Structures are given as structure tokens and as C-alpha cells.
Structure 1
Amino acid sequence: MDRVVIVGAGPVGVGAAILLAQRGVPCLVLDRYPEPYPLPRAVHVDDEVMRILQEIGVAEDFLRLSRPGLGLRLLDARHRVMAEFRRDSTSGPHGYPQANMFDQPDLERLLRARMAALEGIEFIGGAEVFAADSSSVRYRLTSDNTEHTVPASAVLGCDGANSTVRTLIGAQRLDLRFAERWLVVDGVCESDLEAWGGVHQVCDPRRAASFMQLGPQRYRWEFRLFDHEPLLDVEPLLSPWLRGTGVRIVRRAEYTFRAAVADPWRSGRTFLLGDAAHETPPFIGQGLGAGLRDAYNLAWKLAADLQTPGGAPDLLDSYERERSPHVRAQIRLAKVAGWAMTGGQDRAAAVRRVVLGAIWRLPGLKGLALRSTSPPLRGVGSGRRAGTLSPQPRVMLDDGERLLDEALGPGWSVLCPDGRAVSPDSGHRVVRVTPELDPSGRLRRWLRGRTVVLRPDRVVHATR
């Protein structure tokens, strides 16, 4: 079997390589830079994405480097709280805190170490890809300017918003009509600011802003820039938050937050993942998570295709069909959230304050705002829950308490209520959900007496 060639060694590319290697698929990872990008970028993943990091094998180490986010506070221009939406900081339905704040270089170090520990993955840094098709990739080493050609069983373009692979396959970048300039500042303070442990969003049309703590004495600020406005002096922007505390600026950069999606995501056996396939505004914290969802969705399908005589073309066809509508739905939500929190003029801001206050007073709407469950995937299997992600409570195995995914293993599985007969398809692992296995009763309450078939990515394929 030729190797899968992955272009781009950010979290999505390295994550995809690990997921494939764990399924016995050899990979070659190429990146134009020899070392990981050293400065912070992504800062949040939810509990669904934590399950992917669990599958990759870095969740426990990641928890030691991250901190639970308590939720979201909406502030007015004077930093008075208009509304507060709290998240579960202990364990949500997927076994992890619903919001997890972190410094991206920390995650990248964990992923690179995990990649290096696995057999079947080769990494080449300083490699600029200039040609690719479904059977080979050509790249140039920046160290000596030599050109190389490698055969490929498939090519994954994980090379970011300015993707070379996207250009090479002729995919279009569809503008979804959102572009805002923001100033992003990361800093390390001399002492802890004793701020509330969630995200603060300043809903001020004159200067929308965000503030969050990433770790001990590590903080991020984001400030909206208007069109043609010059890059701002950081000191007066930070002073209301610092209150005299000294800060060392780690990064100060302007970004344009965009909404876009590639069309198509695939040409033959070449696929786009992460920012190469889609860009989303950061207002619901799903940018990196969307890319890792791409990797998890595609990895098990590509492994099955490569390891099945005659391949599994229907599985490969389902990658874009499932992921593109899911991403578009999250982009729409991010755009709406961005407008609600930062957009509008003075009159709109006044109306927005009244509406947010009303939402805070209505438990039903508040619960909807707090829900972290992502949209179901379309066109998956059969039954009411098809396309949704199963929960992951702790279960009791012979060797002690474990999270559910550890009991399910890497392949297809069947969750069967105790006492119900089941004839599983070949290769499906049957897990009988007894009171002994499920002492909390959470899994039995979710099953409601039904038998559920789960795909390797824990998405419900069918209920019976």
C-alpha cells in the first residue's frame, strides 16, 4: 500500500496522520516549515472534539495543559454584565468539560510527540508542495532546493486557508459574506487578573472586544477594527482589563475573520480538510474543532477504503456530503452570534441589550443558548437519532471504570439493552448495557430500550 500523503502539519494534518496510522495506514506528512508555528492561534475546543483528542491519544495530557471554560458573559460598553451563560466545567455528556481553553502551541507539541511515537508516519519539514494528484505528490526541499516525487494512495490537503492543494485540484473558494478586521493580542501578566473564568464579550458597536484566560497568567484580547482603521496602540485597549498589572505581549497581530467554504472538497482521491475546506468566524469557537471533525470523519472511511478489496467508494463519497452541510450550519451560527455580540449601530445595540436581557430571564431560551451539541450529520443510516453523536458516560469494565469509547474500541459497535437479542453485522462489537456496566444509568436512559449501531466515529448509524 502506498502511503497517504498529508500536506500540512498543523493540528488537523497531524491529527489525521495519527488517526490513520492507528488504523494501520502508513502516512507521509509534509509541511513547508520544519517546526510548529510557535505563537497562539486556536484557544478553544468543546467536549465533542475532546473525544477526538481521546481517540488520538492525547486527551489526558491535554487536560493538564488546558483549563475548563465557565461559559460566556456578554458585557456592555462599560463592562457591565448583560447576560451570563455558564458551561459545565466538570464533565458534560461526552465525559469532558463542555468548553476547554488552551494555548495552541501546547496542543501542537502533544500531537507532534504522539505522531513521533507511532510507527508508520514519516514527517518531512521544509517541504514545499508544488504539484499533486490522486496518485503522487511533488515537493521541493527548501534546505537544498531539490525536487522529489512520492507515490500516494490518497492526498489530504490540510494546508490552511491559503491552501496549495485546493488550488491544485481547481476547487473554488466560495465567499459566505462575512469579513471583519480584528486585532488579536496574547499576553502573559505579572500576576493573575482574578477574572471570571469564561469568555467576556463586549457588545459595543464602537469597539467590540473579547477577553479570555487561557492558562495561569495567560490571556487573550481581541478588538474589532473598522475598515481602513490603522493598527491600534495596544496599551489603552488593555488598560481597563489590567488595572495596573504588568503584561508581556506574546503576540500582536491583525486578522480578518472570514466565512468561506471550498467547492468541491474532493477531486478523485485528493481531499481538503480544515481551513483548506472552510473558514469560520471565531464567535462560537469551532474553527479548529471543525478541522478535527473533518479528520475523524475521513480517517476511518479512508482506512476502510484502503483495506477493503475493491475499496469503499460510497464511504469516501459521504465525506463531503456529511461534513459540508455541518460546517455551513456552524458558520451560519457563528455569523449570527457575531452580529448579535458585536454588530449593529447604536440603535441596534440598544435593542440588542433588551433582547439579551429577555433571553437571560427565559430558562428555555437560556438552555438553548448553553447547548453545545453540534448539528446532526445528514444522510446517515436510519432512525430518529441517525447522524447524532452518542454520549460518553463512564462505564464499569472488568479492569475498572472507563469512558465508553474505551469499551467500544476502534471499529463499528452495537449498544444493546440488557436482555435484548441482537444479531450483529460481521465485525461489529456488541456491548450489552447492563446495570453493572452502566451504574449511573445515563447510557440506559439514552438508549430507551433501543439497540443502537455506532460508526467508528461514534455517530449513530441506526436505531432498532
Structure 2
Amino acid sequence: MTDTAGATDYDVLVVGFGPTGAVAAGQLGRLGHRTLVIDRLAAVYDKPRAIALDHEIFRHFDNMGLAEAVSPYIEPFTASEHFGVDGRLIRRIDMVAKPYPLGYTPSMVFNQPAVEAELRRHATSFSNVRAELGVELLDLVQTSDRVGARLKDRDGRHRFVTARYVLGCDGASSTVRQIAGLGLEDLIFDEPWLVVDMRVNENALARLPQCSAQFCNPARPVSFLIGPKNHRRWEIMLLPGEDARQMERPDNVWKLLSPWIKPHDGELWRAASYRFHALVAADWRSGRILVAGDAAHQQPPFIGQGMCQGLRDATNLVWKLDRVLKGASPDSLLDSYTVERKQHVIELTGKIKAIGQSICERDPAAARQRDAQVLADGGGKPLLMTRQEIIPPLRAGCLAHHETPARGSLFPQPRIARGSTARLLDEVIEPGWRLFIDGRSNDAAPMLSLCATRPDISAAAVAPVGAGAPDALEETEGVLANWFDRHGVVAAIVRPDHYVFGTVRNVTELDGLLREIDVRLRDAPAERDKNSDLRMENTP
């Protein structure tokens, strides 16, 4: 590679300006890091691809100051009803009941082009973030303290930049992943599907299902999703012998949609054939080069977690990268990124794969057995599940060494009373390292005193309104009090990405946990738990 002396230098080069890259760039910008984000395309892709997000992701949007901007393009996700061989309802996947644990609707649908445009606008609102479109990455070369990148501008001119780290968010065929030599592991799922997006006329909407649905018909499995406003999506399994490109033709698409809708009922927005894969990068890091989003993993879409996984990658990595760039933690902290996110992806993909294989059953006899088993699991009635129970916690990485209740799970976000109104917890105490204490506990005061010497950790006691805890924030719905009671703990230390580092039952345990944070963040790399090298054969 040509000498990069004199090349423009950045803290981070983000390759790919889709949702994952835009969130990473926006978070890096807010933290003050000089960031260059590039994308080979000149504009946001104008067709919907991702359609679902959840409360964890919206919480991060809110933390970034984006909730108001993206809310017009987001609506609640309807329940998903699964119908068996004879059209009988066998399973219903909904969201958890109120009061919502994170303070938002747990499952949502969204308009990707519009939301992605807002994510880009937010990222480029920071003076330290530069976005360059129509720019292609050609090569990367690492030195001891930098990565040199050779770029090709839209006019064909080659130039060089350097960065302390490179983050590849450049999709399933990632150039960054290939240059870094990060191989993919096959999690054994490969099915051809046709995805059809429609803008349905108002007078035709009432004739369509009023819930999202999975038609688990062995003749041809079909998924139906209700998107925002008049957006409806069909995901249709292609059968052996069907040519994927031919099936994208409008005449074939309308034949497939004919049980539900006719050409005069709406506008065909997009028809694209895909192979639904299950893949994960063997390692997500090679020195100063890291990958995220589809560059690191691909999974079937059956519970709408594809984009969510990419944004979890970004939020997991950025707070660690921030510490490393500022010299607060050693570079080895970044090793926990692969440990945490790879295992989470493999475990969730295993659950999604099991649901997908159930939906995709083509043998009628086996499909009837499936229906009977699902109904039996529901006690003779349609099995009720929530999307939230399908999402696993973190199992390993930058967490308390000893497994404590709720370790690695998402910490809830109660509503805090503020005069005659209520505000979400993150608005009262901004994200970062935080200690939350059960204000009803006798240990609340000594725990607050213990943490008073730690400027790097915000501490607060929280108790229900009327609990008689004068120094505590008052929550209005008992979300956090119920959480403390359920887990049998009186305090939790929470990471900047809202995952629980560890929990304690008394002051002595808290003192030990605070010491362990120093070890994890400052003195040693995160240890790999003995079960962290999970493989697909160990997942359901």
C-alpha cells in the first residue's frame, strides 16, 4: 500500500452509513471523537428493508436525542398470530404487558428510509463527524497505532486517510471483514424467500388481517406484517424449482398475493428475493479493525431482530471504544465485544432458527405434529409468548465475575415523579456507569456514601411513591421495586449500554463489586467465561 504520510487522521473510520454505521457515528460524535463515515452509495436506499425495532433500541434513540425526530415514522408492532395446517391459530407472539419495563412500547415497526435519514442527520450534526457518500473502501493496512485506509472517491480519485480504529458496518458482503480476514461460521439455515412490500389503499386495509400473521401452511409458508400507516409486507417462501428472479416479476408477485390483495388495491413498493441465512463472524475484531451489523452476522427475520442486533453491536462497542480512545481503559477491553455480542447473536439466532424451522415445515404430516405439539405446549390452547422473552441476556464479557441475579440483563427504566409529571429515568440521570439502590433498603444510605467517592459512577436510590424514603427518587409505577423484589437484591451497577454489570444484597457485596469494575475496566481484559464459546449445536 502507498505511504499514508500526510493523510487526514481520525479517531474512528466508520465504513457504511446504514443504521448501524449511523448510530455508531452519532454516538462517537456525541462523545467528541473525530469520526469519518463513508458509504459507497450516494443516498439513503429508498425502499424498506428492516421493518421492526424494540424498546432497547428506542431507548438508545431517546438517549441520543432522536426520539422526537423518529417517532412520526414508528408505530406499535401488532401481535403475530401463527396459523397451522388447517388454518387454526396455534401460537400468538405479543409484547409484554404494561407497565412497560423500559418505558416504551416493547415492539415497534418503522419506516426504514425515513428513520435512516434522521440517523444520518443526527450523526452529521456534530462538527467532529464528517460523512462522505459515493466513497468506496479499497484497502486497509494496520500499523502499531493506526489503520491506513485507501479510498476511492466518486470521481475515481484515490486518496488515503488514517484512523486509530476502523469499524466495518458495510453489510453482508463487507469489504472490511474480507480485508481483515474475519471468516464466517455457518449456523445452518438457508431458505429462499420473496419479500413484498405494499402501500395498500385505504379501502383495502380492512380486508387484510388486522394482526401480523405467520401462515404455517406446508404448501407455501407465508409471513404477513403490518408496518406503519398503510405499509404491509408479505414474506413468501419460494419452492424448489422456482427461479428467484422470475418470481420478483410483478405478474408473479400478484399471483402470490392473490389470496389477500389485487393489483387495484395498492401500490407494489418492492419485491425482492433473498436467501434467509444464519451466519456469524468467527471473530469480530482483527487488531484495530472491528465489524458490526450485517458485516458480523446474518439471521433469519422471523421475529424482526436483524437491525436491532446491529444497533446492539454499535452501542456495545462505542462505550468501550470511548474509554480506550480517552485512555481510561486498555485496548484489551475491546476483546469483550466479540465475547458478548457473538454469544448473544448465536443464542438468539438459535431461537429464531427454531421458530423459522417450525414455520418452514413443508411435510404435511410433520406440520400436523408441529401444530399438535405447539398446542400441547399451550395446555391445549394457542401457545402465548412474548417477543421480549425470546431475547437473551449477555452471558459473558465485561460483567461481574460471579454470576449474580439479573447479571447481563437489561436494566429497567421506571418513570420518576417530577412534580405533577413523570420523566423517564434516563432523563433524570443520564446514561453512563450508574448505581441504582432500592430506596426501601436499610442499606441505601451507606451504599450512597460508599459510592460518593466514585465520580465515574452516578448513584441514586429509587423507591415507589409513598414508600417513605425521603432521599430517594420516587417511581410512579413500581417497575423497579418489583424488579428488586423479583431478583432478591437491593442494588445494581449498570453499564452505559443499560446492561446490568452485577447486583448485590448488602454494602459489603457492593464494595467488592465496585473494586471489580476497576479490574474489568482498568487493569485487565475481560475474562472469557468457560461457556462463552457457544456453538450452534448447543442452542435450541
Tell me the TM-score normalised to structure 2 length: 0.81
Structure 1 residue 69 corresponds to structure 2 residue 88: no
Residues 89/197 of structure 1: CA separation in 2 closer, same or farther (3 Å cut): farther
Question: For 2:260, what is the secondary structure of its paired residue?
Answer: helix
Letter in 1 for 2:365: R
Determine if the alignment matches structure 1 residue 456 to structure 2 residue 467.
no
Give a deviation string over 1:353-390, Cα, whole Å, max 9, x none: 21222234468963467635433332411422211110
Counterpart position of 2:34: 26
- State the alpha-carbon separation in 1 of the partners of residues 392 and 59 from structure 2: 13
| Contact kept? 2:436, 2:462, Cα under 8 Å | yes
Change (3 A) 1:385 1:362: farther
Amino acid at match of 1:156: L
Structure 1 unaligned regions, length at least 5: none
Residue-pair matches, total: 463
Distance 2:385 2:304 in 1: 18
Partner of 2:231: 218
| Offset of residue 196 of structure 1 | 4.4
* Structure-to-structure mapping, 1:256-405, within 5 angstroms: 256-308=275-327, 311-361=329-379, 366-367=384-385, 371-379=389-397, 380-381=399-400, 382=402, 383-397=404-418, 400-405=421-426
Change beyond 3 A, Cα 1:389–1:88: closer
Post-superposition shift, 1:140? 3.5
Counterparts of 1:51 and 1:463 in 2: how far apart (Å)?
22
Return the offset for 1:92. Answer: 2.5
Report what 2:431 is aligned to: 410
Residue 24 of structure 1 and its aligned partner are, at CA, apart by 1.6
Q: State the partner residue of 1:236.
A: 255
Distance 1:291 1:370, change over 3 A: closer
Percent identity between the two aligned chains: 34
Q: Which residue of 2 aligns with 1:17?
A: 25
Greater CA deviation, 115-124 or 76-85? Answer: 76-85
Write the distance in 1 (CA, Å) between the matches of 2:382 and 2:262. 37
What is the letter of the counterpart of residue 100 of structure 2? G
Q: Bigger radius of gyration, 1 or 2? A: 2
Counterpart Cα distance in 2 of 1:76 and 1:463? 43
Q: Which amino acid is 1:130 matched to?
A: L
Which residue does 1:193 correspond to in 2?
205
**More displaced stretch, 396-405 vs 449-458:** 396-405
Please say if residues 141 and 149 of structure 2, whose CA atoms lie closer than 8 Å, have aligned partners that are also in contact: no
CA distance in 2, matches of 1:41, 1:201: 19
Deviates more, 1:372-381 or 1:252-261: 372-381
CA drift of 1:229 comes to 1.2
1:87 Cα deviation from its structure 2 partner: 2.4
After superposition, give the CA deviation of every residue in 1:407-441 in whole Å (9 maximum; x if it has no partner): 23131111012251211234100111133421322
Deviation at 1:47, TM superposition (A): 1.6
Query: Measured at CA, do residues 326 and 37 of structure 1 come closer, stay the same or move farther in structure 2, by a change above 3 Å?
Result: same
Matched, 1:151 2:162: yes
2:181 to 161, 164, 170: 170
**Offset of 1:308 from its aligned partner?**
2.0
Query: Taking structure 1 as reference, are residues 370 and 147 closer, same or farther at Cα in structure 2, changes over 3 Å only?
Result: closer
AA paired with 2:112?
A: Q
Larger mean CA deviation between 358-367 and 7-16 belongs to 358-367
Q: Tell me, in whole angstroms, the C-alpha distance in 2 between the residues paired with 1:40 and 1:304.
A: 35
Amino acid at match of 2:482: R
Once residues 386 and 108 of structure 2 are traced to their aligned partners in structure 1, the CA distance between those partners, rounded to angstroms, is 20
Kept after mapping to 1: 8 A contact 2:94/2:387: no
Match of 1:435 among 464, 467, 474: 464
Distance 1:446 1:401, change over 3 A: same
SS of the residue 1:240 aligns to:
coil
Report the residue type matching 1:338 in the other structure: G
Maintained 8 Å contact 2:189/2:278: yes
Cα distance in 1 for residues equivalent to 2:157 and 2:304: 40
Describe the shift of the 1:339–1:79 C-alpha distance in structure 2 as closer, same or farther (beyond 3 A): same
The match for 2:535 is none
CA distance in 2 between counterparts of 1:288 and 1:272 reads 14
Deviations 1:262-321 (A, max 9, x none): 121101111110010111011121110000000000000000111125x42342111101
Aligned equivalent of 2:65, options 54, 57, 60? 57
Whether 1:124 and 2:136 are equivalent positions in the alignment is no
Mean Cα deviation higher: 74-83 or 186-195: 74-83
- In structure 2, which of residues 187, 190, 195 is the aligned counterpart of residue 184 of structure 1? 195
- The alpha-carbon distance between structure 1 residues 77 and 353, as it changes in their structure 2 partners (threshold 3 A), is closer
Cα distance in 1 for residues equivalent to 2:17 and 2:149? 17
Aligned with residue 113 of structure 1, among 102, 116, 121: 121
Deviation of 1:243 after TM superposition, in Å, equals: 6.3
**Structure 1 378/206 Cα, relative in aligned 2: closer, same or farther at 3 Å?**
same
Structure 1 pair 330–373 and aligned structure 2 pair: CA distance change class (3 A): closer
In 2 relative to 1, CA 388–215 (structure 1 residues): closer, same or farther, beyond 3 Å?
Answer: same
Amino acid at match of 2:270: R
- Counterpart secondary structure, 1:457: coil
Contact kept, 8 Å, 1:43 with 1:102, in 2: the verdict is yes
Give, in whole Å, the separation in 1 of the partners of 2:422 and 2:240: 55
Structure 2 unaligned runs (5+)? 1-8, 466-473, 505-540
Structure 1 pair 432–36 and aligned structure 2 pair: CA distance change class (3 A): same
CA contact (8 A) 1:98 1:372 kept: no
Whichever residue aligns with residue 481 of structure 2, its letter is: R
Structure 1 position 151, deviation (Å): 1.4
Counterparts of 1:267 and 1:399 in 2: how far apart (Å)? 52
Alignment partners' CA distance in 2, 1:109 and 1:89: 31
Counterpart of 2:316 in 1: which secondary structure? helix
Which 10-residue stretch deviates more, 347-356 or 367-376? Answer: 367-376
| SS in structure 2 of the partner of residue 294 of structure 1 | helix
Deviations 1:224-244 (A, max 9, x none): 012431233011211211268
Q: Per the alignment, in what secondary structure is the counterpart of residue 27 of structure 2?
A: helix
| 1:255 positional shift | 0.5
TM-score, normalising length: structure 1: 0.94
